[in-house]
Amino acid sequence: MQIGYARSERSTVGIEWELAIVDRATGELASVADRVLADLADETAATGVGAASGPDGEPLPHVTQELLTNTVELVSGVHRRVDGAVADLQAQVERVRAVLDRIGDYELLCAGSHPYSQWYDQTLTDKPRYHKLIERTRWWGRNMMIWGIHVHVGVDDRDKALPILDGLLAYIPHLQALSASSPYWAGVETGYASNRALMFQQLPTAGLPYPLADWAAYERYVDDLVRTGVIDDHSEVRWDIRPSPKWGTIEVRVCDGVSTAAEIGAIAALVQCLVDWMAERLDQGDTLPVLQPWYVRENKWRAARYGLDAEIITDVAGTERLVTDDLRDLVTTLVPVAERLGCEVELQSVRRMLDAGASYQRQLRVAAAADGDLTAVVAHLAREFRDGSPGADAGAGEA
């Protein structure tokens, strides 16, 4: 099987942001995304704003459906700079919020999971691919009440895509710990910073990618899965980091959802800089270091369990280090890359995220202050999203 790879400008960036809709009175997930999308479709038909593609087929910022009708996904256009992609998302937030204010008493929030809503109360989006997924995965699939962010970065040569993917696996714990925001699941405190990370990998083809030597090996992998009925096409390979041949990008999907544009900009800048840094090294003839798969798996688990308190394995020799210390040094290393890409402000926001604490830490603090009342956590997440200020009501900086 041959899989074409689209032409893409190096290090361009696009972002996808999955948002949950909740009832303002109860904090429960609200299955009204179909109404939101219908209103937005009417608006697009009338004004042209929010179309999925432009006259030449180029992707434009738009809002789309997801697995469950409690969710909308915001998709930016393709940009050279992170701030442009984030601005697209902020404009889409305002469009969605305006519709929600018209149709009822609803709020938006973003976290890796909802603190207490139950899977059996949620409605599946009526689309064949989703029905097929649930028919196959049953209980695990129905439990996918999860939200994340996906960052696409352009890779201008197909043969660089898999080496960069392999190199990025060493940074899965950094990204996962920084974004961790799912300490609760269906009303239970799980003891994990990112329960979403371990839930999502239960799906077929989700989780960590397999080591593949080159693009031909990737094509053989996809061909094997298609021939045996596991998937219909490569878009159903749901790895934590994957090539996206349709767009000519590497897509980083490991992150939990985050509450604010500043946080999503920081994570997108970190991803963009890492990909560009590795592309430059490949162009100079370097071989990118790759961690052993068993170290990669252990690092993912440690970041999911301990979040920003995780000690991670940083090299093939088995050196261990606190993920926050490694993140701070990584930001310093990437500053020249960020200056070249125009995302130095966003990259430095990684340090501010570390100072404020990750979302899972803020949620746990809010719950403790409210004697375990998880409705307070939902109110906190909705307030963070609306105000655009992480940690304002959660004792920021105490962790």
Mean pLDDT of 187-211: 96
Q: What is the pTM of this model?
A: 0.96
Give whole-number Cα distances, 246 to 7, 44, 154, 217, 235, in Å. 9, 24, 11, 18, 9
29: DSSP letter: B
Whether residue 397 is predicted with pLDDT greater than 50 in this model: the reply is: no
Mean pLDDT of 357-384: 98
Please give the single-letter amino acid code of residue 213: A
Q: pLDDT tens digit string along 65-102? A: 999 999 999 999 999 999 999 999 999 999 999 999 99
Whether residue 398 is predicted with pLDDT greater than 70 in this model: the reply is: no
Q: pLDDT tens digit string along 259-312? A: 999 999 999 999 999 999 999 999 999 999 999 999 999 999 999 999 999 999
Q: What is the bridge-based pairing of β-strands 13-23 and 149-154?
A: antiparallel
Q: pLDDT tens digit string along 322-339? A: 999 999 999 999 999 999
Q: Which structural domains are found in the chain, ordered by start? A: 13-387 (3.30.590.20)
What gap in Å lies between CA 385 and CA 107, rounded to an integer? 9
382: tokens are: 């909705």
Whether residue 393 is predicted with pLDDT greater than 70 in this model: the reply is: no
55: DSSP letter: T
53 confidence band (pLDDT: 50, 70, 90): confident
399 confidence band (pLDDT: 50, 70, 90): very low
Q: pLDDT tens digit string along 375-385? A: 999 999 999 99
Give whole-number Cα distances, 197 to 62, 300, 301, 305, in Å. 26, 8, 8, 10
Angle at 324 (CA atoms; ends 13, 370), nearest 5 degrees: 95
Question: Whose structure tokens read 């593949």?
Answer: 212
Mean pLDDT of 103-122: 96
Whether residue 194 is predicted with pLDDT greater than 70 in this model: the reply is: yes
Question: Whose structure tokens read 């972002």?
Answer: 15
Q: pLDDT tens digit string along 224-249? A: 999 999 999 999 999 999 999 999 99
What gap in Å lies between CA 28 and CA 374, rounded to an integer? 11
What gap in Å lies between CA 175 and CA 252, rounded to an integer? 9
